[in-house]
Structure 1
């Protein structure tokens, strides 16, 4: 008696982000992509779908041009179906519709040029779904996409066999269901478990009268690039046994491309999906404390049917969880709208279109969210996205010098002052004491303000608990070389003692954020984010005025910074070691703060005038933070030591007394950034280390540096103090 059939569709997603290192691209090709493509050629009866992000193809076609023919011959043989996507692999719902459609259209044209195919299926980046997508995709000729079983669960659908039909405003789209159990099995678990699951789906399809479809769509990197998967998949023969097993069972396991299945079988009916992604992504998008709580409940009932109703959060909440990400995303949208206006003025100018593609490149998704891979914590990806935004502006000729305007760039209900003169550009926040949300040196396409705050993450608790029990597996542990994957319960760390770096920031790191701190605030307090300000930029709204200078531009701010007497009691509210943000004591005095930014061709000058009002100021430190996305070294100079330079390591906390000037190396731009201080101040430096979880374990990643320019503040009521920072970029 013949077995009931099941249709199996394997869709492989090939992607590396814009700005990733060349050696990562090369390893991905050598360890995963080439073996996969060669393997497919050896098995002509195994039919699959393939998706390549445009940013990966750009690198491959330049550095591994053989990929063009490798894929082309598979296409000509009719063995593979090519899927479309956003060219630079964006999360489509985070874009303006014009950019989303433009990116997908760009990718479709690239597939037509490369392999003479016009895709009708969409690879949905990170499976981030929002209900309006069918309307966006309809004009592009796309007929289907892949979503996860989690999406169907959230819509109340139990039967995951076959495909489903959705629509928006009358525009239909068919949906293939990507099965999480298959993602967890392949290639990690023994193949007998795979055959058993496919057999169960075949039997279920027979019982309910549906042609069952088992779809597995996931990263090609899992077949060679992830830790020890190259040995497992290729050297130890997992993929050979997998494909041989499919052929041995071809009488009941039918490998098909997505379109082949849909041409033979009707959909299972109508469904309307809520906003969703795969289950893990929805958990990661939750606020940290809520994600930890959700994880507890999920583990408690993961074997019960009720677990499918624990749906997690909403992808866009990453823009809340990480304010730095929100700024980058909103800057891209702001630029895109400005380019629309420029295109109308110029009538389709080529420079505008070049700028638009730079904006699209800045939208590559990997630096906009975080789960178990680096994501937002990969500094080089954030800096590349920021650099592409500046390149878009300069290549298109947008906002030529001199320029200033006021608008709510990041859509937080408060306007930013945008000032540009010569090579310098600033986005200043009057609502936050004129702290800078962006500090740009345009000739180098360099946003210096890419430091990232240290955020608590749900997985940090697992590291703490394992460290307390002495159960962290490090490279010198006998278990380190054993097979490991991202779903393993064990805690691995690439170096011992990582739990010592689990520090968190109460405040965003921005250039020119100001604090009034108690005298006894130590370098250790700054390092571990434990300082309690008496007053700060974050509670100081300022008025502003822009003035033209003979050879520059000035943005002048003024505001009242209320401060409190130090409380003898500290709040006990903490989460993962984060102090409460409740104010200390009652306001009793204030400082009148005048803060002026002067932009010239060769420098930026930031002048302060601080006046004590309502009483004397004693036992306090005025601190101006210069947060920079630097992870290298710097040299400082003090008149007190004869003007000799002293090199400092940006991987360590340190203090430099009586500083006159400091020079920072800029490894991404081949230049030096000079800050002069007048009068001299004490410079305290804090390296911003994030402890992140990657596919190979916990690791420490640099997020930039916080430089605190500190000076004692001793003022009688009515007295003033002045000081200046001067910034230069030195080739």
Structure 2
């Protein structure tokens, strides 16, 4: 039985990517390159997650960037995977916001690529079982999670100290030591699972945290430090141990597109060429995998991210203030909206339009990018506060329309 290899590449730029020039730079240096590489290796398949907000930016910048992806999606070499539109940490949002972010992302994919996605990649692989009903109700059949999260799931009840560990503490690795056996892994990572809440079920694909990091680290395989043959040896070892098995590698697609470094592209092409020639490896999309090998083992997976826990985005004073202020804005919009509906003003065009603009800004500010890049680059955090100020101004205008007119009439 062959080793099934699933690669899932995540493409994303925050909502300010276009205005700051990031989307253009990466469109030329990364996003055009990825489908070209795969077109040259037709036996290698991949799942592609292009975040909805990036689709919006690429269509505004140059729609031709999208066309090669469409071609590979429709010929079956790529599977398009949905997410949450503005890249929020979904488990930290109210359920209705989770649903809206996912609905917006699915709509962007269907409108752009003409297909309905059945797979899901949560931003930062931030998982909670609260997502299962929301995904299942939308026809999502599978989601990817990180192996560090699965490691916690295999304990009957994870201790609080376990839940507070980072992914690198849960799954330590050393890329510098050539004696390290990259395939020395828990065999539970190399199968699929199903997770259930009430009658709702979602299949789970397990990302190999350590092998995936090889595609992101400066001391990894895209910089030539880890040679393709070493990666092949790890896969061969896994195949021998598992007599088959499923290996899932997932990283940011910008890495394999080079990020302006052509040597990374060369190394990635070398890796694909090596993989393509392996007679014990079969490259498949997740949809193909679940069609052939249905997930049968049921498991409960505790909340977690690809970093192990949520602390990277929520622990600092800067994070807490930003999240608190955003929650204030959201609650105020809820109160104004409720009052507008009760008084029959919600259908007035000026009020409806303002409510829509404020709502959209709040959804955009839910992106975890405002929390990740605190000071580097600093202008991103400043831009986040500027958007928050704009949201506050629009919300005050909305209040005047909804409340002041009532005061005048009384």
Whether 2:230 is the aligned partner of 1:196: answer: no
Q: Which residue of 2 aligns with 1:233?
A: 264
Task: Decide whether aligned partners of structure 1 residues 383 and 327 sit closer, same or farther in structure 2, where only a CA change above 3 A counts.
Answer: farther
- 2:204 and 2:32 map into 1 onto residues whose CA distance is 29
SS in 2 for 1:203: helix
Displacement of 1:144 after TM fit? 1.1
- 2:366 and 2:380 map into 1 onto residues whose CA distance is 11
Q: Which residue of 1 aligns with 2:14?
A: 17
Q: Which residue of 1 aligns with 2:131?
A: 133
SS in 1 for 2:213: helix
Q: Which residue of 2 aligns with 1:118?
A: 116
Gaps of 5+ in 1: 287-314, 405-731
User: Residue deviations 1:260-309, cap 9 Å, x none?
Assistant: 1011002251111112112x453x827xxxxxxxxxxxxxxxxxxxxxxx
SS in 2 for 1:130: coil
- 2:283 and 2:340 map into 1 onto residues whose CA distance is 47
Task: Decide whether aligned partners of structure 1 residues 172 and 240 sit closer, same or farther in structure 2, where only a CA change above 3 A counts.
Answer: same
SS in 1 for 2:201: strand
User: Residue deviations 1:409-448, cap 9 Å, x none?
Assistant: xxxxxxxxxxxxxxxxxxxxxxxxxxxxxxxxxxxxxxxx
SS in 1 for 2:115: coil
Residue pair 2:82, 2:120 contacting (<8 A) in 1 also: yes
Higher helix share: 2
Task: Decide whether aligned partners of structure 1 residues 347 and 323 sit closer, same or farther in structure 2, where only a CA change above 3 A counts.
Answer: closer
Whether 2:351 is the aligned partner of 1:352: answer: no
1:254 corresponds, among 282, 297, 305, to 282
1:105 corresponds, among 88, 103, 106, to 103
Displacement of 1:392 after TM fit? 4.4
- 1:268 and 1:245 map into 2 onto residues whose CA distance is 32
Residue pair 1:16, 1:55 contacting (<8 A) in 2 also: yes
Task: Decide whether aligned partners of structure 1 residues 339 and 65 sit closer, same or farther in structure 2, where only a CA change above 3 A counts.
Answer: farther
Whether 2:311 is the aligned partner of 1:285: answer: yes
User: Residue deviations 1:358-415, cap 9 Å, x none?
Assistant: 211111111124xxxx3465443334334444444555742228989xxxxxxxxxxx
Q: Which residue of 1 aligns with 2:163?
A: none
Residue pair 1:124, 1:146 contacting (<8 A) in 2 also: yes
Q: Which residue of 1 aligns with 2:56?
A: 58
User: Residue deviations 1:141-198, cap 9 Å, x none?
Assistant: 2111111110110112741112111122331111100002211333342111211121
- 1:69 and 1:352 map into 2 onto residues whose CA distance is 34
Displacement of 1:215 after TM fit? 0.6
Task: Decide whether aligned partners of structure 1 residues 103 and 45 sit closer, same or farther in structure 2, where only a CA change above 3 A counts.
Answer: same
- 1:109 and 1:202 map into 2 onto residues whose CA distance is 39
Whether 2:296 is the aligned partner of 1:271: answer: no
- 1:147 and 1:332 map into 2 onto residues whose CA distance is 31
SS in 1 for 2:206: strand
Displacement of 1:113 after TM fit? 0.9
Alignment map for 1:574-589 (pairs within 5 Å): none
Gaps of 5+ in 2: 156-185, 216-220, 405-410
Task: Decide whether aligned partners of structure 1 residues 362 and 65 sit closer, same or farther in structure 2, where only a CA change above 3 A counts.
Answer: same
Q: What's the TM-score, normalizing by structure 2?
A: 0.79
- 1:147 and 1:34 map into 2 onto residues whose CA distance is 27
RMSD between superposed Cα atoms in Å: 2.7
User: Residue deviations 1:441-488, cap 9 Å, x none?
Assistant: xxxxxxxxxxxxxxxxxxxxxxxxxxxxxxxxxxxxxxxxxxxxxxxx
- 1:167 and 1:22 map into 2 onto residues whose CA distance is 42
Whether 2:242 is the aligned partner of 1:223: answer: no
Q: What's the TM-score, normalizing by structure 1?
A: 0.46
Displacement of 1:257 after TM fit? 0.7
- 1:27 and 1:375 map into 2 onto residues whose CA distance is 22
User: Residue deviations 1:109-151, cap 9 Å, x none?
Assistant: 1111111111111111001112211123222221111111101
Q: Which residue of 2 aligns with 1:79?
A: 77
SS in 1 for 2:355: helix
SS in 2 for 1:275: coil
Residue pair 1:27, 1:225 contacting (<8 A) in 2 also: no
* Paired residues, number: 358
User: Residue deviations 1:219-261, cap 9 Å, x none?
Assistant: 01222455xx723223xx2122112112211x32111111110
Task: Decide whether aligned partners of structure 1 residues 379 and 352 sit closer, same or farther in structure 2, where only a CA change above 3 A counts.
Answer: same
SS in 2 for 1:322: helix
Task: Decide whether aligned partners of structure 1 residues 106 and 402 sit closer, same or farther in structure 2, where only a CA change above 3 A counts.
Answer: closer
SS in 2 for 1:200: helix
Displacement of 1:22 after TM fit? 3.2
SS in 2 for 1:384: helix
Q: Which residue of 1 aligns with 2:183?
A: none
Displacement of 1:37 after TM fit? 1.9
- 2:247 and 2:70 map into 1 onto residues whose CA distance is 26
2:29 corresponds, among 28, 31, 46, to 31
- Look at both structures and tell me which one has the larger radius of gyration over its CA atoms: 1
